[in-house]
A = this chain, B = another copy of it.
Amino acid sequence: MGKQADISRLLINLPLFQQLRDDEISNLAAGTREIGLSKGQILFQKGAPLEGFYVVVYGQMKLAFSSLQGHEKVVSIVDPGHSFGEAVMFMEKPCPVFAQALADTRLVYIAKQGIFAAIDHDSAFARRMLAGLSMRLHSLIQDVEGYSLHTSTQRVIGFLLQLAGASTHHSPVEFELPASKHVIASRLNLTPETLSRALHSLSEAGLIRVNGKRISVLDTTRLSQFGSTPYPPCAKEN
């Protein structure tokens, strides 16, 4: 049906599926369905088993877990064109996080059977899948590195540089924060208050300029070195 044709067109444009043959694509599309979520809606809870994975068409998803005390920690923000849930699909275990829409969002769900078939037919696809998971692992390790041996401000800097790097790199680089500060703070494992203070101090140091969620990075190189001095940074004293 027409809906499936739409989905096929979507899938074709994903890097992951780039080199699949048409029949493999339609095979895949056969095991898919579209899902609409309104802002705040929960797709699945922590502990759910996944029989497939999801691609974001438009909108924005967050993956997070919450502590017994009700606090929650955002692990990942998933933007259009990206996917989530593959790893859980491949191991037969409950999902370690829950998924919630940060905005009205449209997803495509892809059942694992189609993926497994594609793996069987096309080893290059399997390799792309492996490379994709490896990239996830890599960025997760970078997160761990950040939590372990960077201060809060350094994590904020790293985050800003990452965003800045994504856009064209002539100074000053300007961009918009990809989510509310509350969500970003959680993603960086700090409180909104601390994020606010960090942005403020970077701002005062003349390294960035903040206007709502619009950020201008004035000096990327100096920003990347902030706080890495052998001597304690002579922060402005009270």
What 0/1 readout, one digit per residue, does chain A (54-98) give for beta carbons within 8 Å of chain B? 000000000001011111010100000000001111110100110
Q: Which 4 A-B pairs have the closest CB atoms?
A: A67-B149, A87-B134, A126-B126, A90-B134
Whether A126 contacts B137 in the complex (CB less than 8 A), given A40-B238, A96-B142, comes out as no
Q: Does A234 contact B (CB under 8 A)?
A: yes
Q: Does A148 contact B (CB under 8 A)?
A: yes
Residues of B within 8 A of A138 (CB): 87-88, 91, 93, 96
Q: Does B96 contact A145, Cβ atoms closer than 8 Å?
A: yes
Residues of B within 8 A of A219 (CB): none
Interface residues on A, range: 35 or more
**Cα A65 to Cα B146 with chains together (Å):** 11
Q: Does B142 contact A144, Cβ atoms closer than 8 Å?
A: no
Q: Give min CB distance, A205 to chain B, whole Å.
A: 19
What 0/1 readout, one digit per residue, does chain A (123-154) give for beta carbons within 8 Å of chain B? 10011011101111110111111011110000
Chain A contacts to B: CB under 8 angstroms: 40, 65, 67-71, 73, 75, 86-91, 93, 96-97, 116, 119-120, 123, 126-127, 129-131, 133-138, 140-145, 147-150, 189, 228-229, 233-236, 238
Partner of A90, one of B65, B96, B130, B233: B130
Q: Which residue of B lies closest to A145 (CB)?
A: B65
**Cα A131 to Cα B88 with chains together (Å):** 9
Residues of B within 8 A of A120 (CB): 123
Whether A189 contacts B147 in the complex (CB less than 8 A), given A119-B123, A127-B119, A233-B69, comes out as yes
Residues of B within 8 A of A228 (CB): 68
Beyond the given A68-B233, A88-B138, A130-B133, could you list 12 further A-B residue pairs with CB under 8 A, ordered by the A residue number? A40-B238, A65-B145, A67-B149, A68-B228, A75-B144, A90-B134, A91-B131, A93-B138, A97-B141, A140-B144, A144-B144, A147-B148
